[in-house]
Amino acid sequence: MGLIQNVLAVIVVLGLLITFHEFGHFWVARRCGVKVLRFSVGFGKPLWSRVDRHGTEFAVAAIPLGGYVKMLDEREGPVAAEERHRAFNQKGVWSRIAIVAAGPLANFLLALVAYWLLFVAGTTTVVPVIGEVAPDSPAARGGLVAGQEITAVRDEAVHSWEDINLELVAAIGASGELAVSARDEGDSIAREHRLPVQDWLVRQDPPQPLASLGITPWRPRLPAVIDQVVDGEPAAMAGLRSGDEIVAVDDEPLADWNRFVELVRARPGEALALTVLRDGERRSLSLTPRPNTLDDGTTIGYVGAGVASVDWPEEYRREIRYGPLDAVGQAVSRTGEMTVLTLDAIRKMLVGLISPSNLSGPITIARIAGDSARSGLESFVSFLAYLSISLGVLNLLPIPVLDGGHLLYYLVEVVRGRPVSERVQAVGLRIGLALVGTLMLMALYFDLMRL
DSSP conformational letter for 233: S
Residue 339 bridge partners (DSSP): none
CB 205 within 8 A of CB 355: yes
Reported for 51-54, long-range contacts at CB under 8 A and 24+ positions apart, including other chains, are 54/30
What per-residue string of b and e applies to 115-142 under the rule 16 or more CB within 10 Å gives b?
Answer: bbebbbeebebbbbbbebbeeebbbbeb
Do the Cβ atoms of 290 and 233 come closer than 8 Å? Answer: yes
Residue 240, exposed/middle/buried by CB under 10 A (0-12, 13-18, 19+)? buried
Contact 206, 295 (CB under 8 A): no
Q: For the chain, first and last CA: distance in Å?
A: 17
- Whole-angstrom distance, CA of residue 189 vs CA of residue 158: 15
In order of 23, 29, 32, 342, 402, the CA distances from 91 in angstroms are: 19, 10, 8, 33, 20
Q: Are 155 and 409 in contact (CB under 8 A)?
A: no
Exactly one of 22, 57, 132, 319 is catalytic; name it: 22
Helix residue spans in 290-421 (DSSP H):
324-350, 362-375, 377-395, 403-416
Contact by Cβ (8 Å): 59, 48: yes
If residue 111 lies in a helix (H) or strand (E), which one and from where to where?
helix 93-121
Active site residue 22: yes
Rounded to 10°, the helix 2-31/93-121 angle is: 140
DSSP-assigned letter for residue 129: B
Task: Catalogue the active-site residues.
Answer: 22
